[in-house]
Chains A and B, each alone.
Chain A
Amino acid sequence: MTSDKPAAPLPLEGVRVCDFTWIIAGPQATRIFADLGAEVIKVENESYLDAVRGSAGLHNNFHRNKQGITANIHHPKGREVVERLIAKSDIVIENYSSGAFARMGFPYQRLKELREDIIYVSLSGFGHEGRDADYATWGPTAQGVSGMTAVSGLEDQPPAGWGYSYLDHTAGFYAAIGAMMALWHRRQTGEGQHLDMAQVETGMVLAGVPMLDFQVNGRHYERIGNGSRWPAVAPHGIYPTADEDRWIAIATETDEHWAVLCEVLERPELATEPRFASNEVRFQAREALDAALGRLTARFDADSLAAALSERGVPAGACQTIEDRMEHDPQLAARGFYPTAEHPELGMHRFEGLPMHFSRARWRIDRGAPVLGEDTRTVLRDLLGYDEREIAEMTAEAAI
């Protein structure tokens, strides 16, 4: 499947990535490389299996387009397989706890011996340097540390935080961007480098504005629910609709939006009521306003209300579930966002695409995630120069 013109080339064709990633953050980064055409070879072994393999669908989505080999680094021949692969790779990336990859025998120095201009991306919770380098994170830990959990939630409630590991995605994005920038630099200068990435830092770069606000104005952030702080406008929130646990988001930014909203909700007289007549008074009275609006929106179907508002220029939308997005979202469907590919065990499935179209290139969803060791033989034979006899021997010795 392709996003655009089937004959177009893949932008990162010819780039090779030696992939020691697991769980989600690292795999998110190498997924981007693989979708864009890089040859991503994921290395696993019984002693360092990807813990996400237990969630087959999640694993399938994050490792599509990749090849998978097994190599036992505790066996000299298995280690040699990995070393040959590193020597032929442009990028080595891992997201183990800080120091673990070095303990497996692959500090940056060793990687450089294997390939002088290697780009090494290590992605851990707190990075490889600094006094807390040994601390470990999962997405929710990093979200708590970086400040993203505390600022999200309703005013009079505990933090709602994030209902998933958003920072696993974010850390993966920054790892992919950093690695691509390093590739660019290497092309200009011939020089490789180590990117020492910390998941928490990728969260903190998203919070630069509140950090400046605190230093300049002394302001501590308080949760504002679904309201809008800047600009201070109302109504701006998420409201119930006629169906159970079905919500609509509405963002009125002007008095015109407000007037249209009142009309669509069949209460045009509300627009000019003194207590709601200007944004300033609406913002002051936003709690009462939200409660009143919620009683009105509860009489409508979310999608038709959102359509009626959107058509007249008021930003509005249903709070879509994944079911909505995959089954009923006409925009995602029109853009071909969920192409299908086959997995040897899970069969044909849809996948999340890459969120862009290129005019002279394409991205791909060619295959599902590799089953354990699916590509060992091909990679060893065609890329690393082993013959069938050696491969059979190494298999018998459990080196691969």
Chain B
Amino acid sequence: MTGPMQGLRILEVGDLGEVAGKLLADAGADLILVEPPAGARSRRTGPFVEDLPTREGSLHYAYLNTNKRGVTLDLSQPDGQDLWRRLVAQTDIVIDGAGLEVLDGFGLGYDAFSEAEHLIWCSITPFGRTGPWRHRPTSDLISMALGGIVMMCGYDDHSLPPVRPEGEHSRYIAGEYAVVGILAALWQRVQLGLGQLVDVSMHEAISSTTEGAYMNWEYLGRNPERQTGRHAGTAERWQLLCADGKYAVLFGGGVPRAKKALQGLLAWMDEYDAAADLHDPKYEQLLHIRPAEGGELRKHFADTVAGFVGNRPMEEVYRRGQEIGMPWGPVRLPEENLDDPHWADRDFWVTASVAGHPELVRYPRAGYRMGQTPIEFRTPAPALGEHNAAVFINELGVTSDELARLQERGVV
């Protein structure tokens, strides 16, 4: 059994197509990544195996290109362009993340294939294919700033700059929305018999991923103010330092919303003689009033809980908190989840190889756990040109002599 998208043929070109391509390839589509003969930019993005920036050593490339096949093609040469046209003729979907200048610049973009009526062509660009900013230079930092995420993240102290959350999220957000667009176009193709161009704007994708910001401005006429480790605009501290130097998130400021949770919390604090005056029935009214109306009573309660939490290790705060019904969390590093048995219970990890490393490693499987069409790991990210022969000879009918000549001339 393979994933839900098996049977679909996809071509992917360019940096910004990588996330969308991964999601569809992991789901079973036959996806061919088309790289320039010198290799995709992703291969030059760290981290690298043993910190050596080799062509096959990028872990960034390794993660974002699982389950894809890979060919090389110089799209600036006429023979490369010919092969590209032949590849497109055999494909359902093209993911174009190369920027407005590349495929369109060579006359190899969507417009060149308007006769291929079934074709779905997803263009992922920083700002969209139209509008005054469409050629503006950008990067993850700039896109996250323009899209509004940066201004919502940072510290209470506004003399410190706002913070761009780490992790190339601009690419993920745009890539996720691109898959939405592709799947919608695919669904519509069944009804219409026609494919189409899907023009995804990363700037818009980020701009629609800032939760309460829109409400604050459109309805209340204010800009939310960034704060340390919690929602912009929230009055209470959520992020507390535990006894082992790690942080925990006490969502809701540490004040229970249900009687059972309050009792559990007090019983736990009693084990350490730390409940102070919190057994006083007057604190029960906190269960029924809104946080903003809690005043001194709520503040004292929260401060006492914070003092208690500061004397317990983070993992205990997290687990005991959850067990008594509080939605509390640890502030873990991503890799700390590798040791949490809950994810193994769910078969979340895929154990597989990564190029240049002798041992198997665990990859996150997928964001959805599908009962009938589980997301499987078929192949690691392709080596540069790994499938040139399989694709060009077996599927396009290029002879092995021709392929050798194309290789000599740097076309593939």
| Interface size class, chain A | 35 or more
A40 on the B face (CB < 8 A): no
Question: In the complex, are the beta carbons of A181 and B329 less than 8 A apart?
Answer: no
**Quick one: CB contact mask for A121-149 with B, threshold 8 Å, 1 for yes?**
00001110111101111111111111111
A81 CB to closest chain B CB, in angstroms? 27
A176 on the B face (CB < 8 A): yes
**Which residue on chain B has the smallest CB distance to residue A208?**
B63
Question: Complex Cα distance A263/B79, Å?
Answer: 43
With contacts A160-B228, A212-B354, A317-B142 taken as known, whether A358 is within 8 angstroms of B196 at the C-beta atoms is yes
B282 on the A face (CB < 8 A): no
Question: In the complex, are the beta carbons of B229 and A315 less than 8 A apart?
Answer: no
With contacts A129-B346, A162-B165, A322-B217 taken as known, whether A187 is within 8 angstroms of B204 at the C-beta atoms is no
Chain A neighbourhood of B177, CB < 8 A = 173, 354-356
Question: Complex Cα distance A361/B59, Å?
Answer: 38
**Which residue on chain A has the smallest CB distance to residue B172?**
A206
B154 on the A face (CB < 8 A): yes
Question: In the complex, are the beta carbons of B218 and A57 less than 8 A apart?
Answer: yes
The 27 listed contacts between A and B (C-beta, < 8 Å) are A58-B212, A58-B215, A131-B345, A137-B327, A140-B329, A142-B329, A148-B165, A152-B164, A157-B155, A160-B229, A168-B211, A177-B180, A184-B4, A193-B372, A195-B370, A211-B363, A213-B47, A216-B49, A226-B141, A226-B161, A238-B150, A320-B148, A355-B205, A356-B178, A356-B180, A356-B204, A359-B197
Chain A residues numbered 308-365 whose CB sits less than 8 Å from any CB in chain B: 310, 313-326, 329-332, 334-335, 337, 346, 349-350, 352-361
Question: Complex Cα distance A212/B226, Å?
Answer: 31
Task: Output the residue of B127, B248, B334, B345 with the most chain A CB within 10 A.
Answer: B334
With contacts A140-B251, A325-B207, A346-B219 taken as known, whether A162 is within 8 angstroms of B46 at the C-beta atoms is no
**Which residue on chain B has the smallest CB distance to residue A147?**
B334
Question: In the complex, are the beta carbons of B62 and A141 less than 8 A apart?
Answer: no
With contacts A183-B187, A322-B224, A355-B204 taken as known, whether A195 is within 8 angstroms of B371 at the C-beta atoms is yes
Chain B neighbourhood of A138, CB < 8 A = 251, 327
A182 on the B face (CB < 8 A): yes
A78 on the B face (CB < 8 A): no
| Interface size class, chain B | 35 or more
Question: Complex Cα distance A335/B134, Å?
Answer: 11
B85 on the A face (CB < 8 A): no
**Quick one: CB contact mask for B214-227 with A, threshold 8 Å, 1 for yes?**
11111110011011
Chain A neighbourhood of B337, CB < 8 A = 145-147, 204, 211
Question: In the complex, are the beta carbons of A206 and B181 less than 8 A apart?
Answer: no
A107 CB to closest chain B CB, in angstroms? 13
B209 CB to closest chain A CB, in angstroms? 5
Question: In the complex, are the beta carbons of A355 and B201 less than 8 A apart?
Answer: yes
A285 on the B face (CB < 8 A): no
Question: Complex Cα distance A66/B247, Å?
Answer: 40
Q: Which of B231-239, B264-272, B395-403 lines the interface with chain A? A: B231-239
B366 on the A face (CB < 8 A): yes
B131 on the A face (CB < 8 A): yes
A47 on the B face (CB < 8 A): no
With contacts A214-B338, A247-B161, A325-B207 taken as known, whether A356 is within 8 angstroms of B181 at the C-beta atoms is yes
Question: In the complex, are the beta carbons of B132 and A330 less than 8 A apart?
Answer: yes
Question: Complex Cα distance A239/B159, Å?
Answer: 11
Question: In the complex, are the beta carbons of B364 and A205 less than 8 A apart?
Answer: yes
Q: Which 4 pairs from chain A and chain B are nearest by CB?
A: A147-B334, A178-B368, A355-B204, A230-B46
**Quick one: CB contact mask for B242-254 with A, threshold 8 Å, 1 for yes?**
0000011101000
Question: In the complex, are the beta carbons of A141 and B329 less than 8 A apart?
Answer: yes
**Which residue on chain A has the smallest CB distance to residue B167?**
A206
Task: Output the residue of A157, A209, A237 with the most chain B CB within 10 A.
Answer: A209
Question: In the complex, are the beta carbons of B219 and A211 less than 8 A apart?
Answer: no
Question: In the complex, are the beta carbons of A321 and B200 less than 8 A apart?
Answer: no
B167 CB to closest chain A CB, in angstroms? 6
Question: Complex Cα distance A13/B191, Å?
Answer: 10
**Quick one: CB contact mask for A171-207 with B, threshold 8 Å, 1 for yes?**
1011111101111110110011111111001101111
**Which residue on chain B has the smallest CB distance to residue A37?**
B184
